[in-house]
Each structure stands twice: as C-alpha cells, then as structure tokens.
Amino acid sequence: MKAQNTALVTGSSSGIGFETALLLARNGFNTYASMRDLKKSKDITQIANKEKLPLQVVQLDVIDHKSVREAIDKVVEENKRIDVLVNNAGYGLLGALEDLSIEEIKAQFETNFFGAIRVTQQVLPVMRKQKSGGTIVNISSVGGRMGIPSLSAYHSTKFALEGLSESISYELEPFGIRVVLIEPGFIRTNIMNSSIIAKKAQDPSSPYFSLTQQLERSFKSAMENTSESSPPEEVAKVVLQAVRSDSPKLRYAVGNDAASLIQAKTTMSDTEFGGLIKQQFQS
C-alpha cells in the first residue's frame, strides 16, 4: 500500500484496536487511532512518537453522532480520503437473557452494532467519491457464527454485524469498496476487564448465577492458556493481510480455536454441536 493511504480504527485504546492501529501505521498507513476516552491514549501515543509512526489519536465515541461526524471530518480535511475503516469498538455483556434488562441490551447494541453502522455511514460517501474505493473491516467474532450461554446479547450484536456486512458487500462492490469480517476466537486482551456483567446476573439468587460464573471462569482460563488463545497482534496481522489484498475474502477466522469451532459448526448437527458447547462452557 502507498504511504498516503489513510486508515481509521475505532476502539484503539487497547487490545485488537490498539495493535491494529500500530501495525497499519508501521506499514505506511496514515493512521487515526480513535477512542472514546482520550485519557487512555498515553500508551499508543508514546509508541507512535518513539517509532516516529504516521499515527495520531482522535476522539471518537461510536454512540455519539456528533463525535463520529467531527472525527471523520477531521480525517477527510487532513487527507481528502479514507482508504480503510476498521470498526473495532465494542464490549461484552455477560448474563442469561432473563437476567438482562432491555436497557442493558440496547446499550450493547448501541455500541457493538449501531456504532459500526454510524461510523460506516459517515465514511461511505467519502470512499465512493474518491473513486479508488476502500475497505471496510468489521471486527466480528467466532460468536458471530454461533451462540454460547450467558452471552446472548453479545452474540446477537455479532450475528447482526455479520448479516449487515454480507448485505452491504453486494451494495458496495460496484463502487470498488470491499467489506471484510474478522472472526477472532479467544484473544488475549483485557476483554474481561472491559466486559459488563448484567446487574441481575451478579445476584447469587439468580437461577442462572452458577451458569454465568462458569462462563466467566472458562473465559479467564482460556485467556491465561496460551494454547487456547491468541495474542491481539494475530488479529492485527490478519486485518493488514485483508486490506492489502486485491481480492480479500469476506470472512477471516483468527485463531485455531475459531477455525475449529467454525468447522465443527458447519459439519456437526445442531444436537452434536450443542453437546460440544455444553461440554466446553457448562461442565
């Protein structure tokens, strides 16, 4: 890719967004690492300054239309183009459906799904007008292809993102705009720290309390086990591969666990796959 190509990454304060923004900048992209809270920009700014990377931090809250518009206006004013958008901002919400309030579910969708829509809708006119197209990368999850207990809201947002991405890939193809879905499995990030446990799910009297606790333990164990999880740098490498490709795939699974789960989902019956999920997350 040429050095003048411009990338915008949401949710860049840590984890996948952090590593993706840095890797794009290290490979010549004029990169805007966006985040809701600029107080969390110290680490990425220090690295960018030390390595003299073409990276700057910009404030962008995906649930605030004004914030989104102002951030994208800034990028376009300074570069006249946006070649890559990485929709990464999101968080997890733990709890069985009965324990989730409508407000908690709406908030989950507002960030994970409508946030991606809000940013994409602002970027698309820019990509169309620049005639050279562009690439929209949506960070989904292996949870966008299957559901597990106590993550119904989170998985719903990722299923929605998968359907959205597949649909708009047809709409945008005539304009040379590619759409890519990245589907990570267990990634060693601070996702458990940034996840929210639903209020009712924290109550020991909930009939689903032990189920949610078991899921939390399973996730923490996977994060600590390097054979069961992948570093966020692996996701960043796949994003870079996809945006550099002249003909990227629609979907990229990241991590051996993601690939094996997706393979199992496509080859097993629903009953067989359900047994696998119960064994893995409810044992």
For residue 256, the model assigns a pLDDT of 78
For residue 1, the model assigns a pLDDT of 39
pLDDT of 226 > 70? The answer is: no
Nearest to 123 by CA among 163, 156, 168, 181: 168
Comparing 85-89, 93-97, 119-123, 217-221, which segment has the lowest mean pLDDT?
A: 217-221
What confidence tens digit (pLDDT) does each residue in 31-81 have?
999 999 999 999 999 999 999 999 999 999 999 999 999 999 999 999 999
Q: Single out the catalytic residue among 12, 140, 152, 156.
A: 140
What confidence tens digit (pLDDT) does each residue in 167-191 have?
999 999 999 999 999 999 877 665 5
249 labelled catalytic: no
Q: How far apart are CA 173 and CA 175, in angstroms?
A: 5
What confidence tens digit (pLDDT) does each residue in 120-166 have?
999 999 999 998 899 999 999 999 999 999 999 999 999 999 999 99
Per-residue buried b or exposed e for 177-188, using 16+ beta carbons within 10 Å of the residue's own CB: bbbbbbbbbbbb
Q: How far apart are CA 141 and CA 112, in angstroms?
A: 11
What confidence tens digit (pLDDT) does each residue in 238-281 have?
999 999 999 999 999 998 788 888 999 999 999 999 999 888 77
CATH classification (class only), 6-281: alpha beta
220 labelled catalytic: no
Note the pTM of the prediction, 2 decimals: 0.94
DSSP letter for 65, please: H
**What's the farthest any 2 CA atoms get from each other in the chain?**
58
For residue 191, the model assigns a pLDDT of 57
pLDDT of 2 > 50? The answer is: no
For residue 86, the model assigns a pLDDT of 98
Q: How far apart are CA 167 and CA 98, in angstroms?
A: 31
Q: Single out the catalytic residue among 158, 200, 206, 229.
A: 158
**CA dihedral angle for residue 107, residue 108, residue 110, residue 111, rounded to 10 degrees:** 120
Residue 222: pLDDT band (50, 70, 90) is low
Q: Single out the catalytic residue among 32, 154, 208, 252.
A: 154
Q: In whole angstroms, how far apart are CA 136 and each of 53, 84, 130, 139?
A: 22, 6, 15, 10
For residue 3, the model assigns a pLDDT of 39
Q: Rounded to 5 degrees, what angle do the CA atoms 86, 225, 142 make?
A: 40
Nearest to 232 by CA among 188, 186, 190: 188
Nearest to 252 by CA among 137, 134, 88, 114: 137
Q: What's phi and psi for 6, nearest 5 deg?
A: -115, 135
Q: What's phi and psi for 282, nearest 5 deg?
A: -125, 5
154 labelled catalytic: yes
